[in-house]
Amino acid sequence: MKQVLAFILIIISSFIYANEFQEIFPEKDRKIVWNRREKYPAAINLYALGPIGLIGVSFDYFINQKLNIEAGAGIRSFENDPGFTLGLKYNFLGKTPLNLTPYVGIFNGFEPTENSIRNYNIYIPFGLHRLKRDRFTWSVEVAFQYNVYRKDEYFFGGFRMGYRFGFKKKGLFKKK
């Protein structure tokens, strides 16, 4: 009986001590963020080819570790035709700490006309996204597209590189 009471006393005192320890040292209830997509959810990118056409710049943001929303602007041909894009990408290995992940997405390309904005491109990329330790990011993709200006060409691709930064997560730690 004395052993059972001693065991219960040790368990209760360890819980009391653990609670006091967390109040004295609050950093012990934090964990390290290993996923760079979670730590740096936003990026500014430059790209060649891709959903607009020729060259452009885009801003993307990871809504969660797997879903990435992107908006961009650029020129779609050498005649300086402006275009805009809006799309969503799904990263298959986004919740893992791996820094190379395959993705699939869907984008729409838009262009301004005299009195409205019209859709000229539907772009479905399959690619690889790499996020390096120094926050430099790149991706390469092959895409199926329906473009009103290139009705014979159904396959396209692109290359994107950029720099990631964080909005809501500061530092190496986050609360559990």
67-72, long-range: CB < 8 A, 24+ apart: 67/91, 67/94, 68/103, 68/105, 70/45, 70/105, 70/107, 72/45, 72/47
Antiparallel, parallel or unpaired: β 30-32 and 136-147: unpaired
**pLDDT: which is higher, 172 or 91:** 91
Q: Quick: pLDDT tens for 38-58.
A: 888 899 999 998 888 789 999
Q: What is the 3-state secondary structure (H, E, C) of the chain?
A: CHHHHHHHHHHHHHHHHHHHHHHHCHHHHEEECCCHHHHCCEEEEEEEECCCCCEEEEEEEECCCCEEEEEEEEECCCCCCEEEEEEEEEECCCCCCCCEEEEEEEEEEEEECCCCEEEEEEEEEEEEEEECCCCEEEEEEEEEEEECCECCCCEEEEEEEEEEECCCCCCCEEEC
- C-alpha distances in Å from residue 64, one per residue of 35, 78, 124, 169: 11, 36, 20, 13
Q: Quick: pLDDT tens for 62-81.
A: 988 889 999 999 998 888 78
CB atoms within 10 A of CB 97: 11
Q: Is the pTM of this model over 0.75?
A: no
pLDDT class of 99 with cuts at 50, 70, 90 = confident
pLDDT for residue 8 = 65
Please check the confidence at residue 28 and state whether its pLDDT lies above 90: no
Q: Whole-angstrom Cα distance, residue 169 to residue 126?
A: 29
pLDDT for residue 21 = 45
Write phi, then psi, for 172 (nearest 5 degrees): -90, -15
